[in-house]
Structures are given as C-alpha cells and as structure tokens.
Amino acid sequence: MAVGLAQIDLEEAKVDAKDNDGKLTRAQATQVAATIKRNNPIFTKILVHYNPQTGSNVAGHVVSKPEIVYEWFASNGPIVSRRAPYTDALEPAADEGTKTNPFPLDWAKPASATYPKIFLGGTRTDYKSQNDLSQMVGKMDESGVIVKQYAPHTRAVLPGGETIGLTANYYLDVGTIIGPLAADGVKSAGGHLINDVLRKYGFRPDKDRLDGDHVHEMQLGGQNVLENLWPLDKSTNRGSGSTIDKADVRLRDGRVIKVYQLRQFVKTSGRNIFFSIRSVT
C-alpha cells in the first residue's frame, strides 16, 4: 500500500511536466487517482477531494489551505498532494468550445495559402534542389518535361499522374474552425504521403529543409490524406505540434487553460472541443 501511495507524487509529476507549474486541474487529479488505483489493486477506491474548504475534515486530515486531497480505501487514510489546486476546476461551460462557439486559438503555423510554392519537372532518381528548379520554370529539364511551379491552393496533376494541392476543406487562415480536439492526442503520421510523391521528382525534404505537413493537425481533426498535406519549413513544422498543445485558451470567465489540459476534459467528459484560428504566424 505504501508503494502505491508513493506513486501518487510520481504520477502527478508526469501530468504536471508539460508546464511544471505545480498545479493540477480536477480532471488531471482524477486521472492520477485512476492510474494509481489501476496499477495497485490493493486500493478498492481512491477519491479526489478537490479544493475543499479551509477547516474541512477529510478522513482525519484537517484542511488548512486549498488542497487536493486523495482519500484511499483499503485501510482508510488521506495523502496530501504537494501541488496546489487551481482555484476552481478549469473546465469550459457547456456552450464554450462548441463548433458554433469555438475557442479562439493562436496557430503556430502560417495560413495555408502562404505555404511555400514548390517546383517540379519530370521524374528522376537524383536530387534536384528547389532553388535550381525555380530557375528553370517554363524550361525543359533533363527528362524533357517543362518545369512548373505548384501552389498549395491549386490542385494540379504531376507528370506521373499524381494529384497534389490542398482541397478547400483543408484551407486554413484566420477564422477557420478546426477540431475536434483528440482526447489522447494523435501521433502525427509524418509527411510521408506527400514526401514520397515529390521524391520521384527530385525533392528531398532534408536537403531542401522542407517537410510534408498536415495543414490541419491530426490532433485537431485533420486527416492523413494528400489533400491535407503540403511542404512547410521543417523547423516550423516539427515544433508546431508541441506549441499548439501548450497554447493558452481563455475561458469566458477569464481563466486560462492549456490545450493539453482541455484534452483531459475531453477524455473525462466525452465532449467535442473546437477552435477558431485567431492568428497565424
């Protein structure tokens, strides 16, 4: 039992690691309790007393300040978290974060129309830089194919028959509604779909510092399809998911919650949460 109780602080540290502010939401504390109970069958129940009133008594523990108190049942007793609770549970009202009333969100990537243009000629097995190909637009390359410029918002058929370019449902700019937020997060499939297509035409992500990007993040309802993929600056692409996950979301009453904290709410409530893009980079 002592081993299980000792795990509470370790599990809290994992949950708190993203912002390391020493605080937990009610949903996060509830998740900690569920994890400890699942991993330690000796406990029949672990209750979370979140922000009890000063002076209240929880299983023999007198609360002298706002605290998160875990009450365990096996041989009953409390254990006090080292982390302070938020003043109230940071949870949206029923009509906040809906598709018709989405949360404003600062987007960590550019508007889709401003993603880089790319330059391609015929199929080839060797590398040809985007800079070199951009100088050859309108001219034939070594394979006898005219080099063309391709833009993200223009659907186009490549010489080998593949169609690239975003479809309108994946255009993204200020005002775009995006979601729903995935409860557990979604590991990105990477840009392999479009990278593999473009590789046939001399494109090499590592050498051109461009990588296939899901314009609508998969963690926010985007699909792993060519219509949602276009090359983006590699450093912008690879840092965007984490930045979005830690972005601030302001609730109606003025309190601020992180996107990753909303995930916990989605997980416990089953609600769909949507966002409206407030700004782009």
Q: What is the pLDDT of residues 85-103, one digit of tens each?
A: 655 567 899 999 999 999 9
Structure-block tokens of residue 132: 């070199």
Cβ(265)–Cβ(273) under 8 Å?
A: yes
The burial class, CB within 10 Å (0-12 / 13-18 / 19+), for 129 is middle
Q: Is residue 98 part of a domain?
A: no
Distance between the two ends of the chain, CA-based, in angstroms? 50
The per-residue pLDDT for 75 is 65
Please tell me which residue, 206 or 118, carries the higher pLDDT value. Answer: 118
Using CA atoms, how far residue 16 sits from 10, 21, 38, 51, 85, in Å, is: 10, 7, 20, 17, 12
- pLDDT exceeds cutoff 90 at 232: yes
Tell me the three state secondary structure of residue 89. coil
Q: Which of 18-27, 51-60, 194-203, 244-253 has the lowest mean pLDDT?
A: 51-60
Does one domain contain both 15 and 46? Answer: yes
Q: Is residue 200 part of a domain?
A: yes
Q: Is residue 51 part of a domain?
A: yes
Number of other residues whose CB lies within 10 A of the CB of residue 226: 17
Does one domain contain both 187 and 234? Answer: yes
Structure-block tokens of residue 93: 């009202």
Does one domain contain both 60 and 150? Answer: no
Q: Model-level pTM greater than 0.85? A: no
Closest CA to 119 of 132, 106, 109, 104: 132
The per-residue pLDDT for 19 is 79
- pLDDT exceeds cutoff 60 at 228: yes
- pLDDT exceeds cutoff 70 at 249: yes
- pLDDT exceeds cutoff 90 at 105: yes
Using CA atoms, how far residue 214 sits from 38, 92, 164, in Å, is: 36, 28, 13
The per-residue pLDDT for 76 is 65
Work out the pLDDT band at 262, boundaries 50, 70, 90: very high
Q: Which of 143-147, 184-188, 225-229 has the lowest mean pLDDT?
A: 184-188
The per-residue pLDDT for 88 is 55
Does one domain contain both 113 and 233? Answer: yes
Using CA atoms, how far residue 169 sits from 69, 216, 224, in Å, is: 47, 10, 14
Does one domain contain both 151 and 248? Answer: yes
Q: How far apart are CA 220 and CA 132, in angstroms?
A: 36
Q: Is residue 91 part of a domain?
A: no
Q: How far apart are CA 74 and CA 281, in angstroms?
A: 53
Q: How far apart are CA 215 and CA 5, in angstroms?
A: 43
Tell me which residue range forms the domain holding 45: 2-85
Q: Is residue 221 part of a domain?
A: yes
pLDDT in tens, 47-89: 999 876 777 788 778 888 888 999 988 866 778 888 876 555 6
**Buried b / exposed e along 138-152 (16+ C-beta atoms within 10 A):** eeebeeebebbebeb
Does one domain contain both 174 and 238? Answer: yes
Question: How many structural domains comprise the chain?
Answer: 2
The per-residue pLDDT for 203 is 95
Looking at this protein, which amino acid is placed at residue 6? A
Q: How far apart are CA 41 and CA 154, in angstroms?
A: 57
